[in-house]
Chains A and B, each alone.
Chain A
Amino acid sequence: MSDFPRWKYALVVIVLLVGIVYALPNVFPPQPAVQVSGNRGAAVDASLKSKVEGLLATAKVPAVAVDVNEKDGRLLARFGNADQQAKASDALRVGLGDNYTVALNLASTVPSWLRSINANSMPLGLDLQGGVHFLMEVDQNAMIDAQETRYTDDIRSLLHDKGVQYDSVTRNARGQGVNIVLRTDAERQKAAGLIGSDYPDLLVNDAAAAGNGFALNAVVKPTKLRELSQSVITQNVTTLRQRVNQLGVSEPLIQQQGANQIIVDLAGVQDTAEAKKIIGAVASLQYRAGLYTPQQAMEAARSGSVPPDAKLYFGRDHQPYLLSKKVIASGDELVTATSGRDQQNGTPNVSVTLNAAGARKMQEFTNDNVGKPMAVLYITRTLETKMVDGKEVKTPKITEEVINYANISGPFGKQFQTNGLPSDAEAAELALLLRGGSFAVPVDIVSESVIGPSLGADNIDKGFKAVMLGLGLVLLAAAIYYKLFGLVADVALFFNLVLLVAVMSAIGVTLTMPGIAGIVLTLGMAIDANVLICERIREELRNGSSPLASIRTGYDKAWATILDANVTHLLAALGLMTMGSGPIKGFGVTLFIGILTSMFTSVTVTHAITALIHGGRKLKTLSV
Chain B
Amino acid sequence: MEIFNHNANFNFLGLRKYSIGLAILLMLGSIGLIVTKGFNYGQDFVGGVAVNVAYQNAVDTNDVRQALTSAGMENPLVQAVGGTREVTVRLQPKDDHGSSGLTGDEAAAKVSADIMAALQKVRPDAVMKSKSFVGPQVGEELRSDGIYAVIFVIVGIMGYLWIRFEKRFAIAALATEVHDVLVTLGIFALTQREFDLTVLASVLAVVGYSINDKVVVFDRVRELFRSSRNATPEEVLNRSINSTLSRTIITSLFTGITMAALFFFGGTAVHGFAITMLIGILVGTLSSIFVASPILLWLGVSKQDLMPRSKEDPALERRP
Contacts and interface: CB of A to CB of B under 8 A. Distances in A.
A277 to B, nearest CB: 12
Nearest to A454: B80
Contact of A591 (B156, B160, B208, B218): B208
A401 to B, nearest CB: 32
Interface stretch (A20-28, A320-328, A431-439, A567-575): A567-575
A409 B135 CA distance: 50
Contacts of A459: 267, 269
Contacts of B257: 470, 473-474, 477, 524
Interface string A450-483: 1111110011001101100111011001101101
A260 B1 CA distance: 58
B277 interface: yes
Interface stretch (B64-72, B104-112, B145-153): B145-153
A520 B82 contact: no
A512 B160 CA distance: 32
A581 interface: yes
A560 B219 contact: yes
B139 to A, nearest CB: 6
Interface stretch (B95-103, B183-191, B248-256): B248-256
Contact of A258 (B47, B142, B209, B261): B142
A481 B88 CA distance: 47
Interface in B258-297: 258-259, 261-262, 265-267, 269-270, 273-274, 277
A193 interface: no
B164 interface: yes
Nearest to A575: B153
A391 interface: no
A36 B218 CA distance: 61
Nearest to A566: B212
A516 B149 contact: no
A537 B199 CA distance: 37
B211 A465 contact: no
Which secondary structure characterizes the binding site on chain B?
helix
Contacts of B241: none
A465 B157 CA distance: 34
Contact of A579 (B145, B255, B256): B145
A561 B266 contact: no
B266 A463 contact: yes
B201 A580 contact: no
A532 B142 CA distance: 37
B127 interface: no
Contacts of B2: 538
A532 B247 CA distance: 6
Contacts of B164: 564
A127 interface: yes
A532 B215 CA distance: 12
A525 B255 contact: yes
Contact of A513 (B205, B208, B269): B269
Nearest to B267: A462
B243 interface: yes
A539 interface: yes
B53 to A, nearest CB: 12
Interface string A7-22: 0000000000000000
B119 interface: no
A567 B255 contact: no
Contact of B204 (A471, A564, A575): A575
Contacts of A591: 205, 208
Nearest to A135: B137
A553 to B, nearest CB: 12
A571 B201 CA distance: 15
B246 interface: yes
A578 interface: yes
A89 interface: no
A590 B219 CA distance: 26
B262 A517 contact: yes
B165 to A, nearest CB: 8
Contact of B142 (A452, A483, A580): A580
A466 B254 contact: no
B215 A564 contact: yes
Contact of B201 (A260, A463, A576): A576
Nearest to B270: A517
Interface in A291-310: none
Interface stretch (A226-234, A281-289, A441-449): A441-449
B82 A583 contact: no
B211 A568 contact: yes
Given A452-B79, A531-B250, A258 B216 contact: no
B88 A450 contact: yes
- Between A450, A516, A583, the greatest number of chain B beta carbons within 10 A of the residue's beta carbon is seen for A583
Contacts of B202: 517
Among A445, A566, A575, A580, chain B packs the most CB atoms within 10 A around the CB of A575
Interface string B195-215: 001101110110111011001
A585 to B, nearest CB: 9
Contacts of A528: 212, 247, 251, 254-255
A538 B250 CA distance: 14
A542 B88 CA distance: 62
A551 interface: no
With a 10 A CB-CB cut-off, give which of A453, A462, A469, A568 has the most chain B CB atoms.
A568
B250 to A, nearest CB: 5
B132 interface: yes
A564 B162 CA distance: 12
Contact of B262 (A448, A450, A520): A520
A452 B61 CA distance: 13
A454 B61 CA distance: 13
Given A448-B132, A521-B258, A575-B152, A514 B198 contact: yes
A-B interface, 4 closest residue pairs, ranked by CB to CB distance from nearest: A258-B141, A446-B135, A524-B258, A572-B208
13 contacts: A258-B142, A446-B135, A447-B47, A466-B261, A466-B266, A521-B258, A527-B255, A535-B247, A560-B219, A568-B215, A572-B153, A572-B157, A587-B201
Given A449-B134, A572-B211, A588-B204, 20 more contacts: A272-B52, A448-B134, A450-B88, A458-B267, A469-B265, A471-B258, A477-B257, A513-B269, A516-B270, A521-B262, A524-B259, A528-B212, A528-B247, A531-B254, A539-B6, A564-B219, A568-B212, A569-B211, A575-B156, A580-B142
